[in-house]
């Protein structure tokens, strides 16, 4: 008896059996419509084309220092006076991070234009549907 009362109450309040509200369902449908636009697909492809190599490069560059310094003698030689290659490599990680951040920021500005285009395409589909 109690479960019947709850289901009736849920239906009156606009809550579906899955626990999501009608507004959440509408948002999900709207998100699905945006995700199907060519501009959004292009955005995701461009982001992946930049982010995957950038993350791989960052991780390899970052993890190379402890591996090379801890397990090899490659970085033991003098680079500039008494400074070894290990210090040069370690200090190079700062500019590498700044450069990657700068590249990401520039790309993100371009991606913003694709986001606006995807929104426009989705709103055109909403008005024609």
**How far are the Cα atoms of 1, 23, 29 from residue 10, in angstroms, in the given order?**
14, 14, 21
Each residue of 42-66: pLDDT tens digit? 889 999 999 999 999 999 999 999 9
Q: Which pTM value belongs to this model?
A: 0.67
What is the mean predicted confidence (pLDDT) over 72-100? 94
The pLDDT assigned to 18 comes to: 52
- Measured distance CA(107)–CA(43) in Å, rounded: 11
- Measured distance CA(8)–CA(44) in Å, rounded: 42
The pLDDT assigned to 20 comes to: 56
Each residue of 99-111: pLDDT tens digit? 999 999 999 998 9
Q: What is the CB neighbour count within 10 angstroms for residue 122?
A: 20
Lowest-confidence region among 71-75, 87-91, 122-126? 122-126
Pinpoint the alpha helices (H) of 1-84: 2-12, 22-35, 38-71
- Measured distance CA(7)–CA(15) in Å, rounded: 9
What is the mean predicted confidence (pLDDT) over 61-85? 93
């Amino acid at each position: 008896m109690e479960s019947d009362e709850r289901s009736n109450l849920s239906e009156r309040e606009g809550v579906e059996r899955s626990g999501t509200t009608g507004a959440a369902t509408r948002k999900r449908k709207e998100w699905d419509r945006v995700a199907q636009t060519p501009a959004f697909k292009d955005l995701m492809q461009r982001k992946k084309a930049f982010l995957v190599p950038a993350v791989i490069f960052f991780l390899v560059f970052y993890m190379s220092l402890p591996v090379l310094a801890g397990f090899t003698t490659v970085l033991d030689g003098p680079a500039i006076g008494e400074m070894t290659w290990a210090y040069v490599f370690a200090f190079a990680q700062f500019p590498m991070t700044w450069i990657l951040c700068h590249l990401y920021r520039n790309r993100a500005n371009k991606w913003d234009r694709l986001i606006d285009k995807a929104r426009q395409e989705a709103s055109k589909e909403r008005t024609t549907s």
